A = this chain, B = another copy of it.
Amino acid sequence: MINILNGIYKLTLGEPEVLTPIKLRRTSENLEAFNHLIKISSPFTDEDFKISVSQRGCTVTLPIYEEERIYGFGLQLKSFMQNGKKKIIRTNADPSSDSGDSHAPVPFYVSTLGYGILVDTARYVSFYCGSSAAKEQKSRESELGPKGTTEALYKTVQSSSSMVIDIPVAQGIDIYIFAGTDMKDAICRYNLFSGGGCLPPLKGLGVLYRGYVDADQNGILDISKALRDDHIPCDIIGLEPGWHSKAYSCSYLWNDKKFPVPEDMVKALKDSNFDINLWEQAFVNPSAPFYDEIKDHSGDYLVWEGLVPDFSILQAREAFGKHHEKLVDLGIAGFKLDECDSSDYTGGWSFPNCTQFPSGLDGEQMHNQIGIFFQDTQYELYKKKNKRTYSQVRASHALASSYPFVLYSDLYNHRDFFRALLNAGFSGLLWTPEVRQTDSAIELIRRIQIVCLSAQVCINSWMIPNLPWRQFHYEENLRGELLPESERIALTLACKKALEFRMSLIPYLYSAFWKYKTTGTPVFRALVMDYPNDIYAQEVEDQVWIGDSLMAAPIFADEGNKRNIYLPEGVWFDFETGARLIGDQWLNEVEVPIDHIPIFVKGNSIIPIANPVEWINENTQFNLTINIYGSDISSFALYEDDGYSFNFEKGMYNITELQYNHNRLNLDEGFISPMKKYIIDQIILKGE
């Protein structure tokens, strides 16, 4: 085991493969950040790891202790705490079961004992998280026995004190151990090792509205006008596949019947302060202008008749990038990288696992890496233009923390969507529980409330031409039959309230993303990350931490208007009323009106709240109310920069340390220059 960075240890067992996530990575560690961290040593010794190697691959075992709880494995939708489970790290669209399959599975898990384990493989590695007891393990007298229901029969039970990691093909493996002062610190070190968290452009934290798939140039402009007419906050319009002359696979060329002069559309949208995001796949249609150029640098199987570029090869990235540069130059602010996951559960449309790529990667490895490669290829474009993007992607893997791409899914169960939000935080991923169709007005409101608590507020109306709050019924929306006026106004107001709340949080969120970037602290995270030894927090999967001081406990679509809420130890304040609450308790059957999201503030916090704006541009200034919760000393580091470029990397940013002390708010002298983006309107003592 060698110590490669403060708290990070690498153990090589057997003969690892040549093509692995770490060896293929194109990002670098945030080395500087490691200097500031507490020195910490490995919780494991070499002897804790056992390996066996065979023709079918290698198997590594290491201990799990009875009291520790395991989380992670990337964007898991179906479960939260992983003890007792088998998880396979296999990229797949629409995982239908709790098998480990995911758009963004990551061979990385963390423990409440304060460490993380990264298995450096692009293979479909399986983790048996204490689910499988070895024969030689001392047998326990347990309570297993016939049960009355199938669910009870197969309820997950941790029966073993070992993590068994089964890696196909590879004849050896590099294991990376991330030690931390606690679980969150271990995750921070993983994120910093991955390059640190990403910093979205300011506009990216606003609302992304994806338009109707069949809309043409005028249709898109109509949608943009409707948004402004309804005074719904919106910063980005997303175009779905219809913009391509060929999609499934993609031409990456405008459909000139529907979009005759895209420059005009882009300009009109810019003039109304909308950015544009374009849908695309990685699969290159024969009609794409760079098809021939990329042909030799792609896999030996097609998807939807399109080439699958080997983005690990410079020529493939360049051919793809050169063409896309024109789109970026046109003013496209981001992309939605669709279907770069795989497809064992939805018709088998992707390339086979036996596909061979020129780099030597096979289909299995590529399925687990193409999401990362695709992000890297597109991100490189924007870096070159000194322009930040906040894009979408449907697949990711290890070491993704620094990519400004947000995951989404065709799945839709609301609790699963929320669970994904928490799980994403364990592995350096970002997630939007996007809002699509809803069966009721209540569902629309509740889904919008929750998407406002995530990395990206995406309202994906690809199936409907009219704004969903004007008509949530699918068929009627298609036919242009809007809700009766009074109903429409009420629904629009309820949706707007949630979206405006989001807009009011932008300075708080932007500052939290800066912290994510520089310290690795996830912006959206599970309670257990801050309270690893709290047995309730270990299981709470319907509440989310946001930044350092806010905790939200929203209501799910169609689950009524009451819920139980857990407050960990300490002092808490109701975000709206400022009412003081003592933690280490459950609030039972809390009534949650339809236009309300229960939010709690950790004791002694400062929360800057902005007057909500409808959109953000380069000149936007945020009028802030500084809410002070608790009468003790507290502080908040308010971050600002130009909001759109990488100039912050050259030090062109500003941090204002808001400090509350002896009933006074001070702006700390440490700030580099006077605030430009923020105007403090008022200071309110919310809780005492």
Closest chain-B Cβ to A190's Cβ sits at a distance in Å of 25
Cβ contacts under 8 Å, A154 to chain B: 343, 346-347, 349
Cβ contacts under 8 Å, A136 to chain B: 300
Cβ contacts under 8 Å, A98 to chain B: 345, 347
Interface residue from B84, B145, B149 paired with A247 (Cβ < 8 Å):
B145
Is A326's CB within 8 Å of the partner chain B? no
Closest chain-B Cβ to A518's Cβ sits at a distance in Å of 38
B156 touches A305 (CB 8 A): no
Is A463's CB within 8 Å of the partner chain B? yes
Is A626's CB within 8 Å of the partner chain B? no
Closest chain-B Cβ to A383's Cβ sits at a distance in Å of 30
B364 touches A56 (CB 8 A): yes
1/0 per residue A78-99: CB within 8 Å of B?
A: 0000001110100000001111
Cβ contacts under 8 Å, A248 to chain B: 144-147, 153
- Residues of chain A from 113 to 153 with CB closer than 8 A to chain B in the complex: 126, 128, 131-137, 139-140, 142, 144-150, 153
Given the interface pairs A56-B362, A99-B344, A154-B343, the reply to whether A352 lies near B166 with Cβ below 8 Å is: yes
A97 touches B135 (CB 8 A): no
Given the interface pairs A169-B56, A301-B135, the reply to whether A146 lies near B345 with Cβ below 8 Å is: no
Q: How far is the CA of A248 from the CA of B98 in the complex (A)?
A: 22
Q: How far is the CA of A502 from the CA of B246 in the complex (A)?
A: 56
Interface residue from B55, B241, B344 paired with A88 (Cβ < 8 Å):
B344
A144 touches B304 (CB 8 A): yes
Interface residue from B128, B169, B301, B307 paired with A352 (Cβ < 8 Å):
B128
- Residues of chain A from 328 to 356 with CB closer than 8 A to chain B in the complex: 343-349, 351-356
B99 touches A59 (CB 8 A): no
Is A227's CB within 8 Å of the partner chain B? no
A246 — nearest CB in chain B belongs to which residue? B145
Closest chain-B Cβ to A156's Cβ sits at a distance in Å of 5
Q: How many copies does the complex hold?
A: 2
A164 touches B354 (CB 8 A): yes
Closest chain-B Cβ to A536's Cβ sits at a distance in Å of 23
Cβ contacts under 8 Å, A159 to chain B: 302, 304-305
Q: How far is the CA of A347 from the CA of B159 in the complex (A)?
A: 12
Is A249's CB within 8 Å of the partner chain B? yes
Interface residue from B134, B146, B150 paired with A301 (Cβ < 8 Å):
B134
B249 touches A131 (CB 8 A): no
Given the interface pairs A146-B242, A166-B353, A249-B144, the reply to whether A307 lies near B348 with Cβ below 8 Å is: no
Closest chain-B Cβ to A295's Cβ sits at a distance in Å of 8
Q: How far is the CA of A300 from the CA of B61 in the complex (A)?
A: 13
Is A286's CB within 8 Å of the partner chain B? yes
Size category of the A interface is: 35 or more
Is A298's CB within 8 Å of the partner chain B? yes
Is A240's CB within 8 Å of the partner chain B? yes
Cβ contacts under 8 Å, A304 to chain B: 144, 159
B353 touches A99 (CB 8 A): no
Is A168's CB within 8 Å of the partner chain B? yes
Cβ contacts under 8 Å, A569 to chain B: none
Is A23's CB within 8 Å of the partner chain B? no
Closest chain-B Cβ to A283's Cβ sits at a distance in Å of 10
B134 touches A166 (CB 8 A): no
A131 touches B348 (CB 8 A): yes
Is A439's CB within 8 Å of the partner chain B? no
Is A687's CB within 8 Å of the partner chain B? no
A170 — nearest CB in chain B belongs to which residue? B55
Is A155's CB within 8 Å of the partner chain B? yes
B166 touches A349 (CB 8 A): no
Closest chain-B Cβ to A143's Cβ sits at a distance in Å of 10
Cβ contacts under 8 Å, A246 to chain B: 145
B300 touches A135 (CB 8 A): yes
Interface residue from B148, B343, B352 paired with A164 (Cβ < 8 Å):
B352
Q: How far is the CA of A126 from the CA of B304 in the complex (A)?
A: 19
Q: How far is the CA of A461 from the CA of B142 in the complex (A)?
A: 27
Cβ contacts under 8 Å, A300 to chain B: 134-136
B344 touches A166 (CB 8 A): no
A153 — nearest CB in chain B belongs to which residue? B248
Q: How far is the CA of A85 from the CA of B304 in the complex (A)?
A: 14
A146 — nearest CB in chain B belongs to which residue? B241
Q: How far is the CA of A556 from the CA of B530 in the complex (A)?
A: 52
Is A213's CB within 8 Å of the partner chain B? yes
Closest chain-B Cβ to A92's Cβ sits at a distance in Å of 9
Closest chain-B Cβ to A171's Cβ sits at a distance in Å of 8
Closest chain-B Cβ to A313's Cβ sits at a distance in Å of 15
Interface residue from B57, B168, B344 paired with A86 (Cβ < 8 Å):
B344
Interface centre among A133, A142, A148, A349 (most CB of B within 10 A): A349
A149 — nearest CB in chain B belongs to which residue? B463
Interface residue from B88, B132, B241, B307 paired with A135 (Cβ < 8 Å):
B307
B305 touches A133 (CB 8 A): yes
Residues of A within 8 A of B (CB): 52, 54-57, 59, 84-86, 88, 96-99, 126, 128, 131-137, 139-140, 142, 144-150, 153-156, 159, 164, 166, 168-169, 213-214, 240-242, 244, 246-249, 286, 295, 298-302, 304-305, 307, 343-349, 351-356, 362, 364, 410, 463
- Give 17 new A-B contacts, CB below 8 A, not counting A59-B352, A148-B463: A56-B362, A84-B347, A85-B347, A96-B97, A97-B97, A132-B301, A135-B300, A146-B213, A146-B214, A146-B244, A146-B248, A148-B213, A148-B214, A155-B347, A159-B304, A164-B352, A166-B354
| 8 pairs of A and B residues whose beta carbons are closest in the complex | A86-B348, A146-B241, A97-B345, A59-B354, A154-B347, A166-B354, A96-B96, A144-B248
User: Can you sample 15 A-B contacts with CB below 8 Å?
Assistant: A59-B352, A96-B96, A98-B347, A99-B345, A128-B352, A139-B286, A139-B305, A144-B304, A145-B246, A145-B247, A146-B241, A146-B244, A148-B213, A156-B347, A159-B302
